Structure formats: C-alpha cells, structure tokens
Structure 1
Amino acid sequence: MLAPTTILIAIVAFVMMEPLTAAIHRWVMHGIGEFLHRSHHRPMLQRFEANDWYPVMFAAIVNLGFFAGFNWDGFGVLVPVGIGVTAYGAAYALVHDVYIHGRLNWFANRQVATFDRLAEAHRIHHLYSAAPYGMLAPVVPAALRERAGHTTRNPLVKA
C-alpha cells in the first residue's frame, strides 16, 4: 500500500503542473520554441505535427526522473512526482488532443460540459495566440472572452 505522503506528493505534482504548463506554453512555445509550436496553430495537414515533439521531450524528462528515483539513493521522491506529472500529461492529452482537437475521434459528439468550457477557452487561445495558456484550469482575460464572444470563427474545427 502507498504511504499517504507518496499520494500527497503525486497530487501536489499534478496540481503544480497547470501553472508550470501555462508558463512553458507562454514563454517557450510562444517564445523560443515557437518554430515547433507554430504547427499547432495551423490546420493539421497530416497525422503528426512538429508540435508533437513537445510531449515526447516532456516524457523523456519524466522518464529520466523515474530512472533516478528508482535507481539512485535520495531521489526516490521523483517517483511519486513522476506519477503526478504523468497523470497530468494523460489528462492534458485527453482534453487537448482527444476531446478538443479530435485526434482520435473518441468524442465525435461533444457532450461533456466541463470539457466544452475548456474547449471554449482553447478556442480563444487559438483565435488570438494569447491567454489562456493553461489547459485544465485556464484563466481567460475578460477582454479576450468578450472579444471572442463577438465572433463565430472557430479555428479548432477542421475545414
């Protein structure tokens, strides 16, 4: 059985991923790493896009943490951290790639109210390449929400 501390560390890691993800999205993906992320803000022409390298890189970092946590004394805390980060990554992929962008066609008829709210926030991000940068708890500036309310354009819908 897992110790309560281990579970708490995994939960804290999961929760802390949202602000970390928002920061990486804002300052890396819309900054120095935009050359990869740019593909995500364009119509998808093939199954994979350059932006797909980001989850590959993030998974590699988490796997290094797992390796250290399982193999080196004093690094064991990285295992529950890695579990929390991996759980966040799975939730992010389900909401972003599967539900919002329909990459696996699992949700052909959107009917999940919470996911629809997240999809609307992401639509606003795609409209203006601006906030919100978070995914599971996005903070949409009121001015952008109002501006987006006056347009029916939806850059998330495949042409």
Structure 2
Amino acid sequence: MLVDILVFVLTFCIMEFMAWFSHKYVMHGFLWELHADHHKKDHDSWFERNDAFFIFYAVVSIGFFLLWHYDILEIGLAIGLGIFAYGLAYFTVHDIFIHQRFKLFRNADNRYARAVRRAHKMHHKHLGKEDGECFGMLIVPFKYFKK
C-alpha cells in the first residue's frame, strides 16, 4: 500500500515534467496544428483541436489501469491514477481556473493563483509556436510570485 501511494505521488509529480516537455516540444513543435487554436481561436466551437491532447493522456492512463487489471503490472493502478489525478488538476487549473471554460473559481485570489495566471498570460502573449515561455502548469517560476 505504501509503495502504491509513493508511486501515485511520484507519477503525479513526473506528469508536471511530462506536461512541460510535451507542451514545449510536441504542442509547440510537430503537433502545433493541434495546439494553435488554443493560442489564436480560429473557430466558433467550445471544443478546440488542442483538446486532443487530453485524449492522449487519458488513453495512457487507461492503458496502465488495464495493465493492472490483467495482472501485468502491479503498480499500474497507482500510475494510472497518478496520470488521471494530474489530468484532473491540469483541467481544473488550466481550463476552468485560467481560461474559464466553466465559470468556477473566478474569485480565487491568493499568491499562488495570481502567479499561475501571470505565468500563463506570459505564455499566451506569443501567438506563434516560437519564442514561448512558461510551458508547465502547476510549478510556476518564482518571478511570477512577485507583486
């Protein structure tokens, strides 16, 4: 049980790096076509092509659940839940809190919340795939905590 908890927490933490890496090198790289509408809306739909990245990580998470379910990987459940929990946190912070796709957490106003908003605003000031910054989500550079 303790191993499963440690694997869950480690997986959640590693996912921040995975989000940063895939955002910088995949979304702002060879799959820019899927991510571009997130920086410059070119459609009337509530959905974005960028939402396809959620599906990718959901499939990876489900894959680990299945590996656990079929007794192929004992820690598969912990890994799958860690990926799922990070995805839920990412969706809550990015899509709900920052971009207000659902009108929740509008009044959140603490030091961390302001830093997350500032960092993400700096990321979105670049409309193209080049010259980006702040590719992570939950870990925010210290400079954005300044008043």
Q: TM-score, normalised by structure 1?
A: 0.80
Q: 1:15 aligns with which of 1, 13, 25?
A: 13
C-alpha distance in structure 2 between counterparts of 1:116 and 1:93, whole Å: 17
Counterpart residue number, 1:116:
114
Q: Deviations over 1:103-136 (max 9, x none)?
A: 0101233424322211110000011351111000
Give the drift of 1:84.
1.0
Give the drift of 1:46.
2.2
Give the 3 Å change call, closer, same or farther, for CA 102–31 of structure 1 in structure 2: same
Give the drift of 1:68.
1.2
Q: Deviations over 1:19-58 (max 9, x none)?
A: 1110000000000110000010013732111101110121
Counterpart residue number, 1:32:
30
Runs of 4+ with deviation above 3 angstroms: none
Counterpart residue number, 1:80:
78
Determine if contact 1:22/1:135 at 8 Å carries over to the other structure: yes
Q: What runs of 5+ residues in structure 1 fail to find an aligned partner? A: 146-159
Give the drift of 1:62.
1.0
C-alpha distance in structure 2 between counterparts of 1:124 and 1:76, whole Å: 41
Q: What's the C-alpha RMSD, in Å, of the aligned pairs?
A: 1.8
Give the drift of 1:139.
3.5
C-alpha distance in structure 2 between counterparts of 1:138 and 1:85, whole Å: 20
Q: How many positions carry a matched residue from both structures?
A: 139
Determine if contact 1:14/1:84 at 8 Å carries over to the other structure: yes
Q: TM-score, normalised by structure 2?
A: 0.86
C-alpha distance in structure 2 between counterparts of 1:113 and 1:55, whole Å: 28
Larger RCO (CA under 8 A, 6+ residues apart):
2
